[in-house]
Amino acid sequence: MTATRGWGWWAHLRAGGTTPWSAWSEAGDPGPGRLPGAANLEVLRRLNELGRPRPELVERILASGLSGRGRGDLPLLGERGVLSAEAVDPGALDAAELLRVPTLLLADRLRAESLSQPEPVRRRWLAAPYVLAGDPWATLTPRAALFAAGRPEGGRRVTAYVVVRPLEQMLTHTWQRRAFGVGVAGWRPWVAGYARRDALPPAADAVAAAARWTAELGREHVHLVTDPSLLPALLRAKGLPGSILVSDSAALAGAAPGRYRTPLGGEVVVEADGRLALAGTGYLAGAGRALDECVAWLVAHTPFGIEDALRLAGANPARLLGETDRGRVAVGARADLAVFVRGGPQDQWTLDTVISAGQPVRAGVVVERAR
């Protein structure tokens, strides 16, 4: 191979030099492999200006390529035999392009050290078998911890736990996982490709994942680990008959903001948004929302109507508990009713009256005897 200006600059930087490409003119004999890209060489030059880096880091920078990880290596402008329109002056590269080099070096280090699976201890065969699905990044840590504790995935009659995050996070995590694994196109073209197909990557499609596991295992063996904003996905996956609306509301639910002493929980703070927390900590002290507020929230924030919400709060749990005389309005059924009215500035449903065993109750007080 012929000596070139690019290889001369490579040798200069490898030896600790700091001369910019635009000021370099000496040719040098070719080194091993391909000439590194402009970003790698410029990153090394700038590190040399700050103080010569360790030899092993120098070799990692020069050996690390960007090809297959979005935009590929950029050739040097003015290098002999380079005719590419992407050829650049390394000194003119912006910070975002240069940062790709240390970012990918760090990703390779993490992949080699942090993401390797430890040897499992003896498997605990009496533990419930499981599989983890959904968000490919959020499942890494729990999967590794369970594996190390002798709880690898799989077994007979497994339960599937589908880990769900907001869609933008799941898309980002899916792309990151592929970038650290088999390789992937740049973020923008990757997202644009799925947008053109009007589809989601399988790892980012929580509803489809839950549906697949439900078809294979049955809905009683599928659980979505999610947050409230993704409740519609859970309900679609489990189906209305298999879902229940619950609240573990504490006695202080609905109380005015302030500090309270409770007989069991000690000092509890009711925050302005209704959240209950143990005083001086960030720990929850129970739910601050009663079930009627959960019903109103479900109607206001999901596609489900008041009939569906009341079914989730009444008929479904009654059926699960075997209470055949509750959760429905019928002759001979127990007269336990909740009366909701719709209105107010936000036009939402609110609880007006509770009828317990045929007696109307409001704010815990019997207001009149049913006739």
Length of the chain: 371
Please tell me the predicted confidence (pLDDT) of residue 126.
Answer: 41
CA distance 77 to 66: 18
pLDDT at residue 68 tops 50: no
**Banded pLDDT at 15 (limits 50, 70, 90):** very high
Structure letter (DSSP) for residue 230: G
pLDDT at 304: 76
Q: What is the tens place of the pLDDT at every residue in 260-293?
A: 887 656 788 888 777 777 787 766 666 667 788 8
Q: State the pLDDT at residue 370.
A: 46
State how far the Cα of 274 lies from the Cα of 195, in Å rounded to an integer. 39
Q: Angle of helix 167-179 relative to helix 187-197, nearest 10 degrees?
A: 120
The mean pLDDT value for 216-240 works out to 68
> Apex CA 185: angle with CA 179 and CA 190, to 5°?
105
Quick one: average pLDDT of 234-258?
71
Predicted confidence band of residue 230 (pLDDT cuts 50, 70, 90): low
CA distances 287 to 76, 221, 246, 294, 301, Å, are 61, 26, 10, 11, 19
State the pTM of this model. 0.39
pLDDT digits (tens, 9 = 90+) for 27-56: 999 888 888 889 999 999 999 999 888 888
Share of the chain above pLDDT 70, in %: 81
Q: What is the pLDDT of residues 133-192, one digit of tens each?
A: 888 888 887 778 777 777 788 887 888 888 888 888 889 989 888 887 777 788 889 989
The mean of the pLDDT values for the chain is: 80
Q: What is the rounded CA–CA span in Å between residue 66 and residue 70?
A: 7
